[in-house]
Amino acid sequence: MARIRRSDSKGVRRAAKAQGRAAGARRAKARTASLLDRVMGILPFSEDQWDSVFMTLIFAAVLGIAFVIANLAGVPAMAQAELARAASANGFKVRAVRVSGTVRMDESEVYARALAQRDRPMPLVDIEQLRAEILTLPWVEDARVSLQLPDTISIDIIERKPHAVLEKPDHLVLIDASGHELSPVTVEAAEGMLRISGPGAARQMRALDALLASAPALALEKRIVAAEWIGNRRWNLTFSTGQVLALPEGRDLAASQLVKFANLDGQNRLIGGKVASFDMRNPPRIYMRVPGRGDRIELEGAGR
């Protein structure tokens, strides 16, 4: 009669359990892989893009751990240099610059500053310093600078908007609503824009806008085409007809006189008439100059 040893039966059971666990692990791995494949299939990334993402995450994690260890060891400068060399060796260095948001300005001015970072390891790119340099450009009101791993600097520009034209002795310059100078402009390109002139006129741009807003009938119809800042204290306004209105000093007084002139024009059609200039510097009187007549004429009823 054959004899069955207990040790042999125990070994068989252990082998069966081991095989069962291995089979369960394989099934779990298969389910996990299948789930991961489905998730990756849903997301709009190619296999190469997924490889790039995973490599970026792994490399960033390694760099972060190494930097923390180096800081704890008290050698952050050496760590930064070493990390920069490692990043560059693994392709994490500036190879491309992407600029967006530009409409009127010359993009090459932005690229000229950003491309100075070419081939620099990404950890060594000072985005705040680069942003400060870009903000010095005349057309740039604001800028957002960011790093897109592994090798791109992204720059989003917010441009200033041309608002008026500043007349200088030998050329014209576009300015924004704050009076900030943007770039020279030709006479043809300046057609239809408000022109301002006089020493210090650009610094008074916001005050001029507030003045013109007090008489919207004149401003909205673009009947005022030019404004001259006189003696750093008051404005002369020129209408589309070539007629000139001299306003008094003082923001409030000038606004009230402009409103009065707009009302009188509505009643008497002053703009487009024979009068070449209107002088409202001494309220409540309005003096008018008519070509061919030596004396100034006082407008009747202006004081009422």
Cα 265 → chain centroid: 41
DSSP labels for 285-297?
--EEE-TT-SS-E
| C-alpha to C-alpha distance for 88 and 124, rounded to whole angstroms | 10
Pairing of strands 172-175, 96-100: unpaired
Cut 0.85: pTM above it: no
- Domains detected in the chain: 92-159 (3.10.20.310), 164-298 (3.40.50.11690)
Q: In what order do the strands lie in the sheet with 152-159?
A: 96-100, 152-159, 140-148
The Cα-based distances of 244 to 43, 93, 199, 214, 288 in angstroms read 67, 61, 19, 18, 10
H/E run at residue 48:
helix 47-73
Is residue 18 over pLDDT 90?
no
Q: What is the pLDDT of residue 287?
A: 93
Q: How much of the chain exceeds pLDDT 70, in percent?
A: 67
Is residue 275 over pLDDT 70?
yes
Highest mean pLDDT, choosing among 25-34, 40-49, 248-257? 248-257
